[in-house]
Structure 1
């Protein structure tokens, strides 16, 4: 990872009960972790994710080609955004993608080092963040609890298999992909193609479409993410695991 990249520490939402699970949720291009703080509050409002710590990383400011080279928060450079499935695949910033992948793998490892098992960690994100959650999650060397990818796609798809570790420990890890059918930024065709590629490679992905939703998140979608998190990270209670200590 480039030493010239300046990274702010992530925004943290500590677990409100005993910390037994962690969700890392990654924002999209031009946003910050604060942009998803409201969604985290939404997921926590019914007090069904009390044992979950949420980590909302902030992307570093980097030059973005489609923004006339001006710096903005981004996980990797994007050359063109014109609403076509092909545009986001042009001139993919492999170095930037791999630098961000290393950062997210480090965040995962820090949670493991703090005592949270890998199978109690979910990585997710929106748009560019969702693309990084798929890539970082499926190329992790530890088996995760789940992956969430909203309004996103598979980066480096032509050689994705080259980045998958042996053994491929996340081949059966549930991947929840969601997309609006009116998305003018990340065309739903790219999301569906990415889903089809993952299924074709044997990954445990599902793809849900939200009618009329643009490049954004709806309350229905956020509720579906909450349900996925609850299924993948069920509460263990205060006594779970104490006999093993």
Structure 2
């Protein structure tokens, strides 16, 4: 049950200049926020994201059916990891997905409460984290700057239309989707089908394919994510004349 989940506070990389934007980046199954710390350092190395705070949440330990029900860090349960589309759609853990959705919405709201406009917040992640970012981002009731979904797929796609808010706030929000074409964990076709579904429904999604990449990330991908973040979260400090800093 949601009330029994033990959550650690996210790993936070404060902005190195005036904080005007936030990226919430979500790890995959079995990992922690620390697993993406080096990626954050990579994105910041050219000092083009100095105004951006990075928040890397840690998933709670939950039983994973595909792991013989042993507990491990996860955002929702997975019945089977066989690389197939149907394997992921089978017995989707809707209750667990909705609990994590609420958590990510709370992280977004926390940044808003701290003075960051929702249009200066990007939600993204890898694998399970990318799936949750796509789902939580598109069902958010505030307008986001962007969504990143790496090596992932759209959750609860068969009932997705019933879960989006009205009015829909992120219909035109830029979505950066990327996938390795030899991914044996989250089948490449799963990611492509999710992208095709979103494009058909009119979402502002792009889909980057990395030849020869499995269920992982590469430097080229990390650089393209940095470019996406720089486009979506350009420097803003000092541009709002007449507004005092909090």
Q: Smaller-chain TM-score range?
A: over 0.9
2:208 maps to 1:205: no
Q: Distance in 2 between matches of 1:99 and 1:160?
A: 16
Aligned to 2:98: 98
**Distance in 2 between residues matched to 1:163 and 1:113, nearest whole Å:** 25
Structure 2 counterparts to residues 211-230 of structure 1, below 5 A: 211-230=211-230
For 2:8 and 2:226, the matched residues in 1 are separated by 27
Show the counterpart of 1:64.
Answer: 64
1:51 Cα deviation (Å)? Answer: 0.2
CA distance in 2, matches of 1:72, 1:196: 31
Measured in 2, the distance between the counterparts of 1:43 and 1:68 equals 36
Aligned: 1:144 with 2:137: no
Q: Helix, strand or coil: the match of 1:86?
A: helix
Q: Which runs of 5+ in 1 are unaligned?
A: none
Q: Distance in 2 between matches of 1:121 and 1:222?
A: 18
Structure 2 alignment gaps of length 5 or more: none
- For residues 162 and 12 of structure 1, the distance between their equivalents in structure 2, rounded to whole angstroms, comes to 34
- Secondary structure of the residue that 1:37 maps to in structure 2? helix
Q: Displacement of 1:127 after TM fit?
A: 0.2
SS at match of 2:144: coil
Asked if residue 244 in structure 1 is aligned to residue 216 in structure 2, the reply is no
Alignment of 1:1-245 (within 5 A): 2-237=2-237, 239-245=238-244
**RMSD of aligned C-alpha atoms?**
0.8
| Shift in Å, 1:161 | 1.0
Q: Matched residues in 2 for 1:14 and 1:242: separation?
A: 24
Structure 1 residue 153, shift from structure 2 partner: 0.1
Provide the rounded CA distance (Å) in 1 between the counterparts of 2:61 and 2:241. Answer: 43
Partner Cα separation in structure 2 for residue 244 and residue 44 of structure 1: 27
* TM-score, length of structure 2 as denominator length: 0.98
Distance, in Å, in 2 between the alignment partners of 1:15 and 1:166 is: 33
Task: Give the C-alpha shift of residue 244 in structure 1.
Answer: 3.0
Structure 2 CA distance for aligned equivalents of residues 131 and 242 of structure 1? 39
Supply the distance in 1 between the matched residues of 2:94 and 2:12 (Cα, whole angstroms): 28
Find the residue that maps to 2:242 and give its secondary structure: helix
What are the Cα deviations for residues 171-197 of structure 1, in whole angstroms up to 9, with x where unaligned? 000000000001000010000000011
TM-score, normalised to structure 1, is 0.98
Instruction: Describe the SS at the equivalent of 2:62.
Output: strand
- Structure 1 stretches of 4+ moved >3 Å: none
